[in-house]
Chains A and B, each alone.
Chain A
Amino acid sequence: MKVIASLPRFLAGPSRASVSWLFLWCMASWLMPWYKVTPGITEAWFSSALGHSLAGRLWLLPLALAPCLLLLAQWRQWSWSARTSTGVFFAVAAWLIVQASLIGLHGTSPSMGAVFPLSTEGQTGLGWGGFISIIAMLGWLSEALADRGFCKGDRFASATIVFIVALLGLFVFFPIVKLSLMAFRSPDGLWSIAPFIERLTAQDLWRINCITAAPGRCGVVINSVTLGVLAATLSTLIGLGLALLVARTGFRFKRTLRAIAILPIITPPFVVGVALIVLFGRTGLVTTSIADWFGIVPTRWLYGMPGILMAQVLAFTPVTFLVLLGALEAINPSLEEASNTLGARPLTTFRKVTFPLLRPGLAAAFLLAFIESLSDFGNPLVLGGGFEVLSTKIFFAVVGARYDLGNAAALSLVLLVLTLTAFWLQARWVGRRSYITVTGRSDSGLAPALPKSIAWLTYGSVSLFILFTLGVYVIVMIGGFVNDIGRWDMTPTVRHLGTAFSVEWQQGSLQFYGSAWNSLKTTLLVSAIAAPLTTAIGILTAWLVARQNFMGKRQFEFGTMLSFAILGTVVGVYYVAAFNVPPVDITGTMAILIICFMFRNMPVGMRAGVAALAQIDRSMEEASQTLGATGARTFRQIVLPLVKPALFTAMVYSFVTAMTAVSAVIFLVSARHNMATAYIMGRVENGEYALAITYSTVLMIVMIICITAMSLIIGKRQLGRRKTEQPPVASHAAALP
Chain B
Amino acid sequence: MSEFAIEFNEVVKDYGQHRAVDTINLAIRKGELVTFLGPSGCGKTTSLRLIAGLELPTSGQVLIQGKDVSQRPASERNVGMVFQSYALFPHMTVLDNVAYGPVIRGVKKAEAENQARTLLNQVGLTNLESRFPSELSGGQQQRVAVARAIVQQPDVMLFDEPLSNVDAKLRRRVRAEIRELQQRFGLTAVYVTHDQEEALAVSDRIIVMSAGKIEQIGTPEDLYDRPKNAFVADFIGDANLLTGVIQKGVFQVGSLRIPVDHQERPSVTISVRPERIRLSDINTETEANGIVLEATYLGSRMEYLIDMGHGMLLCSRPIEERRRKVREEVAIEVQPEDVSLID
Interface residues of A (CB under 8 A from B): 148-149, 152-154, 617, 619-620, 622-631, 633, 637-638, 641-642, 719-724
Does B204 belong to the interface (CB within 8 Å)? Answer: no
Q: Is the CB of B91 within 8 A of A622?
A: no
| Residue of A with least CB distance to B74 | A625
> Can you spell out 20 A-B residue pairs with CB atoms less than 8 angstroms apart?
A152-B56, A153-B76, A154-B75, A619-B84, A619-B87, A620-B88, A622-B52, A622-B74, A623-B81, A626-B52, A626-B75, A626-B80, A626-B149, A627-B149, A627-B152, A628-B101, A628-B152, A637-B100, A641-B91, A642-B90
Does B134 belong to the interface (CB within 8 Å)? Answer: yes
How distant is the Cα of A692 from the Cα of B74 in the complex, in angstroms? Answer: 58
Q: Is the CB of A633 within 8 A of B73?
A: no
Q: Is the CB of A626 within 8 A of B81?
A: yes
Does B135 belong to the interface (CB within 8 Å)? Answer: yes
Q: Is the CB of B91 within 8 A of A627?
A: no
Which residues of B lie under 8 Å from residue A153 when comparing CB positions?
53, 56, 71-73, 76
| Residue of A with least CB distance to B132 | A722
| Residue of A with least CB distance to B82 | A623
Q: Is the CB of A620 within 8 A of B89?
A: yes
Q: Is the CB of B104 within 8 A of A633?
A: yes
How distant is the Cα of A148 from the Cα of B54 in the complex, in angstroms? Answer: 16
How distant is the Cα of A626 from the Cα of B89 in the complex, in angstroms? Answer: 13
Q: Which of B73, B80, B135 has the most CB of A within 10 A?
A: B73
| Residue of A with least CB distance to B56 | A152
Which residues of A lie under 8 Å from residue B4 when comparing CB positions?
none
Q: Give chain B nearest CB distance to A548 CB in angstroms.
A: 12
Partner of B104, one of A148, A149, A627: A627
Q: Is the CB of B91 within 8 A of A626?
A: no
Chain B contacts with A in 133-158, Cβ cutoff 8 A: 134-135, 148-149, 152, 158
Q: Is the CB of B56 within 8 A of A626?
A: no
| Residue of B with least CB distance to A627 | B101
Q: Which 6 A-B pairs have the closest CB atoms?
A: A627-B101, A153-B73, A619-B87, A625-B74, A623-B87, A619-B83
Which residues of B lie under 8 Å from residue A154 when comparing CB positions?
73, 75
Q: Is the CB of B90 within 8 A of A722?
A: yes
Q: Is the CB of A721 within 8 A of B132?
A: yes
Report how many A-B pairs have Cβ atoms within 8 Å.
97
Partner of A626, one of B53, B84, B135: B53
Which residues of B lie under 8 Å from residue A642 when comparing CB positions?
90-91
Q: Give chain A nearest CB distance to B57 CB in angstroms.
A: 10
Residues 78-121 of chain B: 1 if any A CB is under 8 Å from the residue's CB, otherwise 0? 11110111011111000000001100110000000000000000
How distant is the Cα of A626 from the Cα of B105 in the complex, in angstroms? Answer: 11
| Residue of B with least CB distance to A626 | B81
How distant is the Cα of A622 from the Cα of B145 in the complex, in angstroms? Answer: 13
Q: Is the CB of A622 within 8 A of B83?
A: yes
In the complex, besides A623-B148, A628-B101, 13 extra interface pairs with C-beta distance below 8 angstroms are A149-B56, A154-B73, A619-B85, A620-B87, A620-B88, A620-B90, A622-B87, A625-B54, A626-B81, A628-B104, A629-B100, A720-B91, A722-B91
| Residue of A with least CB distance to B148 | A627
Contacts A619-B87, A642-B91, A719-B91; is A628 near B105 (CB within 8 Å)? yes
Q: Is the CB of B74 within 8 A of A626?
A: yes
Q: Give chain A nearest CB distance to B174 CB in angstroms.
A: 19
Could you tell me how many residues of chain B have their Cβ less than 8 Å away from some Cβ of chain A?
A: 35
Contacts A149-B56, A152-B56, A619-B83; is A629 near B75 (CB within 8 Å)? yes
How distant is the Cα of A721 from the Cα of B79 in the complex, in angstroms? Answer: 31
Q: Is chain B's interface secondary structure helix, strand, loop, or mixed overall?
A: loop
How distant is the Cα of A33 from the Cα of B77 in the complex, in angstroms? Answer: 43
How distant is the Cα of A720 from the Cα of B97 in the complex, in angstroms? Answer: 14
Partner of A628, one of B75, B90, B91, B135: B75
Which residues of B lie under 8 Å from residue A149 when comparing CB positions?
56, 71
Q: Give chain A nearest CB distance to B318 CB in angstroms.
A: 42
Does B55 belong to the interface (CB within 8 Å)? Answer: yes
Which residues of A lie under 8 Å from residue B79 when comparing CB positions?
626
How distant is the Cα of A154 from the Cα of B73 in the complex, in angstroms? Answer: 6
How distant is the Cα of A623 from the Cα of B54 in the complex, in angstroms? Answer: 10
Which residues of A lie under 8 Å from residue B85 when comparing CB positions?
617, 619
How distant is the Cα of A617 from the Cα of B87 in the complex, in angstroms? Answer: 7
Which residues of A lie under 8 Å from residue B77 when comparing CB positions?
626
| Residue of B with least CB distance to A721 | B132
Which residues of B lie under 8 Å from residue A638 when comparing CB positions?
89
Contacts A628-B101, A628-B104, A723-B135; is A622 near B72 (CB within 8 Å)? no
Partner of B75, one of A617, A625, A719, A722: A625
| Residue of B with least CB distance to A617 | B85
How distant is the Cα of A439 from the Cα of B236 in the complex, in angstroms? Answer: 34
Q: Is the CB of B91 within 8 A of A630?
A: no
Q: Which of A148, A625, A719 has the most CB of B within 10 A?
A: A625
Contacts A619-B85, A623-B83, A719-B91; is A724 near B75 (CB within 8 Å)? no
Q: Give chain B nearest CB distance to A535 CB in angstroms.
A: 19
Contacts A153-B56, A619-B87, A720-B91; is A625 near B134 (CB within 8 Å)? no
| Residue of B with least CB distance to A618 | B87
How distant is the Cα of A152 from the Cα of B75 in the complex, in angstroms? Answer: 11
Which residues of B lie under 8 Å from residue A641 when comparing CB positions?
91
Partner of A630, one of B75, B84, B89, B152: B75
Q: Is the CB of B55 within 8 A of A152?
A: yes
Q: Give chain A nearest CB distance to B67 CB in angstroms.
A: 14
Q: Is the CB of B54 within 8 A of A622?
A: yes
Which residues of B lie under 8 Å from residue A723 when comparing CB positions?
132, 134-135
Contacts A153-B73, A723-B132; is A627 near B87 (CB within 8 Å)? no
Partner of A152, one of B54, B84, B87, B149: B54
Q: Give chain B nearest CB distance to A600 CB in angstroms.
A: 32
Q: Is the CB of B100 within 8 A of A624?
A: yes
Which residues of A lie under 8 Å from residue B81 when comparing CB positions?
622-623, 626
Which residues of B lie under 8 Å from residue A627 when comparing CB positions?
80, 100-101, 104, 148-149, 152
Which residues of A lie under 8 Å from residue B53 when comparing CB positions?
152-153, 625-626
Which residues of A lie under 8 Å from residue B149 when comparing CB positions?
626-627
How distant is the Cα of A631 from the Cα of B76 in the complex, in angstroms? Answer: 11
Which residues of A lie under 8 Å from residue B80 when comparing CB positions?
626-627
How distant is the Cα of A425 from the Cα of B90 in the complex, in angstroms? Answer: 41
Q: Is the CB of B134 within 8 A of A722?
A: yes
| Residue of A with least CB distance to B105 | A628
How distant is the Cα of A642 from the Cα of B88 in the complex, in angstroms? Answer: 12
Q: Give chain A nearest CB distance to B170 CB in angstroms.
A: 21
How distant is the Cα of A722 from the Cα of B93 in the complex, in angstroms? Answer: 9
